[in-house]
Amino acid sequence: MNRVLARFCSSIPSCSQRFTEEELQAIIELKRRSERILDKAAQNVLKGRSWAKAPVLEVSGRKPPASWQRSSKKGQRFFDQNEQIQQSVVKLRWADFAERDVDVLLTSQDETLYTVEVKAVLYGIIQAIHLNETKIRMKSANEVVVRVANKRYTASKEAASFHLITRVVNGNDTKSRENQLKAKLETINEPEKPIKRIAKTTISENDFFQKYRNSIELLKKYS
């Protein structure tokens, strides 16, 4: 009888008399399989807990109404009062960290709302990398953007942005990527109330690129 069988039998009285060697080997194999299943289940529980504790980042894009755009003048300032904005903007709102909230004023005013909302997801990812987060739960009101980011739809527009976004959204939680940002992106459901909070920080798109340049370069290196 080999050492594994001997150790197993030592824990069961009259083991060798009750089972043949083939039966003992089958029992041990079943025991090993059950242990592997339990280990995997425990790992899944731990992963679930880590995601539950992950900070929530709500991202959105806004554009001014068409009537304002027709009468706009160069140099007018952004303001957000009752959502009557006067410049296209990306809004990043951290549920439990108001000090992280940022409004990014976009350079181009000719982009579609879809493009602005794609940028909101991408810029949120870039900021999270800068903050050294490894897991975040992101929320967007744009269902199409969410579906494309989760690879349920193919990106027919903004493919370059989605190429970077999909490196993070639902990224593999492997050991080689344990220090890289991973995100879950979900749609804001109807009963949920979006975060209505004025950001303490407002930054131009060009200044955003300068401030988070290192994070952008890191994202480009993600596999």
Which pLDDT tens digits describe the chain residue by residue (223 residues)? 455 555 556 555 555 556 677 777 887 787 777 777 665 555 555 555 678 889 999 999 998 876 544 444 444 444 444 556 678 999 999 999 999 999 999 998 889 999 999 999 999 999 999 999 999 999 999 999 999 999 999 998 999 999 999 999 977 766 667 789 999 999 987 677 889 899 999 999 999 999 999 999 999 999 7
Expressed as residue numbers, the domain containing 110 is 54-221
44 and 58 assigned to the same domain: no
41 and 59 assigned to the same domain: no
101 and 46 assigned to the same domain: no
31 and 76 assigned to the same domain: no
Residue 76, classed as helix, strand or coil, is coil
Separation between Cα atoms, residue 3 and residue 26, nearest integer Å: 15
25 and 132 assigned to the same domain: no
26 and 90 assigned to the same domain: no
83 and 136 assigned to the same domain: yes
* Polymer length in residues for the chain: 223
Instruction: Domain count for the chain, please give it.
Output: 2
Element of type H or E holding 139: strand 135-140
76 and 180 assigned to the same domain: yes
Kindly state whether residue 12 falls inside one of the protein's structural domains: no
Kindly state whether residue 29 falls inside one of the protein's structural domains: yes
pTM for this model (two decimals):
0.73
Read off the tokens for 20.
Answer: 């043949």
Kindly state whether residue 24 falls inside one of the protein's structural domains: yes
Say which residues have a Cβ less than 8 Å from residue 63's Cβ, sequence separation at least 6: 85, 88, 109, 111, 113, 116
46 and 74 assigned to the same domain: no
36 and 125 assigned to the same domain: no
177 and 93 assigned to the same domain: yes
